[in-house]
Amino acid sequence: MALIEMIGVRKTYRTDGLELHAFSTDRLEIDRGEFVCIAGPSGSGKTTILNLIGAIDFPTAGSVTVAGRKTRGLSPADAAKMRRDHIGFIFQSYNLIPVLTAYENVEYVLLLKGLPAPERRRKVSEALASVGLKDMMQKLPKEMSGGQQQRVAVARAIVASPPIVLADEPTANLDSVTGRDLVGLLHRLNLEQGTTFVFSSHDPVIIEHADRVITLQDGRVANDRRC
């Protein structure tokens, strides 16, 4: 069974009485360890797919199964627990908790999971070291550059070793060199840890590293290419 399965999925939004078709697919599967880029123009449904996989949004019809569990019908609390246990998120605008240091931001997820302090210390140190920020542990987000903040966000996404990391245009706010470094880092983590990465991006650097590119057009899969 694939790690992520979308069967007969349709997602529509209703705004001011108008129904807006955001995404639909008959079947889409992503296996464990894939490094997938979902590409397409703005409004093609890239973020909608990530939201559906990440259980922060739910399909209007059909089913999304993540790590063997259907997301539809989950209570808000169960959906939160599922995200906590199975998914790491990297957002376009870093989105760290501004009042917590880099260390605390990364530790947050482990605290939610209830890990003991020594294990938390070890994992957070390893995660920050893996993104090259071991010396920035006590810095607040506002004291770091955009690239450093995004690397903290990566550390936060991978620290609990989730099977899936979802990254919504993670390089959009970074300069090309920083963006390239970040993608290289994520690819390395994918290879070393077998974590499944699903990106939404039209950044050529990500597309270049991806071993599968799903191209969307008007809310539908226009092309699904393995590289």
Partner 1 sequence: MKTFLLFSHIAFRNVRRNARRSLFTILAIAFGLFCLIIFQALKVGLHREMVISTVQLDAGTLQIHAAGYEVNLAALKQVPDPGKVISALRMLGETRFSRRVKTSGLILSGGKSASLLLSGVDPDAEPGVTFISGKVVKGWYVSRNSGILLGEELAKSFGVQPGDEVTLMSQDMAGLPVTGRFPVTGIYRTELAAFDRSHAFMSIGLLQEFLHADGVVTEIALRSDSRDETALADSLGRSLPGKDYQIRTWKEIAPDVIQLIGLNDATMQLLILIVFAIIAMGITNTMTMVVFERFRELGIISAIGTTPSGILTMVVMESFCLGAAASLLGSAAAVAACAYLGRYGIDLTTFTSANQYFANSHVLKAHLLAKDLIAANAVTLITAVIGGIYPAWKASRLKPVDAIAHI
Bridge partners, 6 (sequence order): 28, 64
Interacting residue with partner 1 among 32, 63, 108, 212 (CB under 8 A): 108
Closest approach of Cβ 204 to partner 1, in Å? 25
- Segment lying near partner 1 (by CB under 8 A), choices 65-73, 94-102, 187-195, 201-209: 94-102
Gap between the Cα atoms of 196 and 177, Å rounded: 24
Q: Which of 23, 35, 89, 199 binds partner 1 (CB under 8 A)?
A: 89
What gap in Å lies between CA 136 and CA 152, rounded to an integer? 9
Strand pairing category for 18-30 and 164-168? unpaired
Does position 156 bind partner 1 by CB under 8 A? yes
Structure tokens at 138: 């006590």
Sequential DSSP letters for 70-116: E-TT--HHHHHHHHHHHEEEE-TT----TTS-HHHHHHHHHHHHT--
The least distance separating partner 1 from the CB of residue 61, rounded to whole angstroms, comes to 17
Query: Taking a C-beta distance cutoff of 8 angstroms, is the pair 23, 49 a contact?
Result: yes
CB of 197 to partner 1, least distance (A): 16
Q: x/- binding map, residues 165-204, to partner 1, per CB under 8 A?
A: ----------------------------------------
Among 7, 10, 29, 56, binds partner 1 (CB under 8 A): 56
What SS3 state is found at 200? strand
Residue 104 or 224 with smaller CB distance to partner 1 = 104
Question: Which member of 45, 54, 141, 179 binds partner 1 (CB under 8 A)?
Answer: 54
Report the alpha-carbon distance of residue 151 to residue 182 in Å, rounded. 7
Which residues make up the interface to partner 1 (CB under 8 A)?
51, 54, 56-57, 76-77, 80-81, 83-85, 88-89, 91, 95, 97-100, 104, 108-109, 111-114, 156
